[in-house]
Amino acid sequence: MSRWSGLPASLDQRMRQLVVQLRRLKDHSGLSLAALAARTPYSKSSWERYLNGKKLPPRDAVEALCRLAGEPVGRLVALWELADAAWSGRGRSGAAQARGGRSAADDGPERATAPGTAVVAAAGPPADGEATPRPTRRLAGLAGLAAGAGAGGVALAAALALWAAAGAGGLVTGAVPEAPEMTGCRARACDGKDPESMRCDLPDLVRTPLERTAAGGERVQLRYGTVCGAAWGRLRDGRIGDRVEVVAPGVAPRSVRVMDRFDAEDSLVTPMAAARGPEGVRLCLYPAGGGARECFSA
């Protein structure tokens, strides 16, 4: 069995539970990171980040590991959905409001109608002919997940309590897991998010308007998600200490640094910068050791 390193104390409990279960499956499969990379579309360094809580794995990676370990995918996918809500930030506002005992009305109409949140007013019985809301099949599956989640069950049960109350008509504002959409965000909502986790890098939804090889041999790309409405940088063949940054008008620059040999062996992407198009977006490489930066524009 692998000797796993400890997970960061700051890691969200839902993400922590997902990583713990993925580690269990990896051990059960008997596969090394290299073997996982050979049998899935994800590299060895990507699996290293997924299994150490550094990055939310794509749903497809979770399903692939389940199949390799001979495990049904349902329970792990339900756990992934909770972790995805935490990682992307969709679950934060609802949990904070529930702790403060506030409703969506306290924050005004814009917040009350934010995508990905459920706003349920306290009201009397349903109107004539209107069915009383019932827990969905997914909610029932998540409830079973919380019951068997061990030490993390309290955190999962708390999240489920918020979602169940919203579905039953309680005075709760919370993030409700919904059927996966084509992408996990659009436009400004993508700013600062990971393009892979938000599914903005799907082959039919992405363009590469810029690709260059730097003086040190690093290969950089500017990527643009046509549906997400955001740009990001991609670095290959980097060296430890290299940093690549994407700069788009009107939003904060986003960057990623090569931290270790796993990063150097893999391709790295920056968080996304919301942009109406790739025009005017600048991509800069800051080489390790303080060398002169190299910038490119679409």
User: pLDDT for 34-63, tens place per residue?
Assistant: 888 888 888 888 898 899 888 899 998 999
Residue 244 has pLDDT above 90, yes or no: yes
Domain coordinates in residue numbering, the chain: 13-88, 92-175, 187-297
Local confidence band at 111 (pLDDT 50, 70, 90 cut-offs): very low
Query: Tell me, what amino acid is at 20?
Result: V
φ and ψ of 264, to 5 deg: -65, -30
pLDDT of 128 higher than 70: no
Residue 33 neighbours by CB distance under 10 Å: 19
Place of tokens 């390790």: 288
Report pLDDT digits (tens) over 143-171.
Answer: 444 444 444 444 444 444 444 443 433 33
Q: Residue 242's pLDDT is what?
A: 94
Q: What DSSP character marks residue 177?
A: -
Of residues 286 and 11, more confidence is placed in 286
pLDDT-derived band at 276 (thresholds 50, 70, 90) equals: very high
CA dist 76 and 69 (Å) reads 12
Q: What percent of the chain has pLDDT over 90?
A: 32
The CATH fold of domain 13-88: 434 Repressor (Amino-terminal Domain) (1.10.260)
Asked if the model's pLDDT at residue 70 lies above 50, the reply is yes
**In sequence order, what are the beta bridge partners of 231?**
224, 273
pLDDT tens-place string over residues 214-243: 999 999 999 999 999 999 999 999 999 999
The pTM assigned to this predicted structure is: 0.50
- pLDDT single digits (tens) 186-213: 999 999 988 887 888 888 889 999 999 9
Helix (H) or strand (E) holding 68: helix 59-69
175-181 own/partner pairs: CB under 8 Å, 24+ apart: 175/85, 175/90, 175/91, 175/92, 175/93, 175/94, 175/116, 175/117, 175/118, 176/116, 176/117, 176/118, 177/81, 177/82, 177/85, 177/138, 177/142, 178/116, 180/59
The confidence score (pLDDT) of residue 131 equals 38
Cβ within 8 Å of residue 6, ≥6 positions away: none
Cβ–Cβ < 8 Å for 45, 266? yes
Q: What token pair was written down for 7?
A: 């997970």
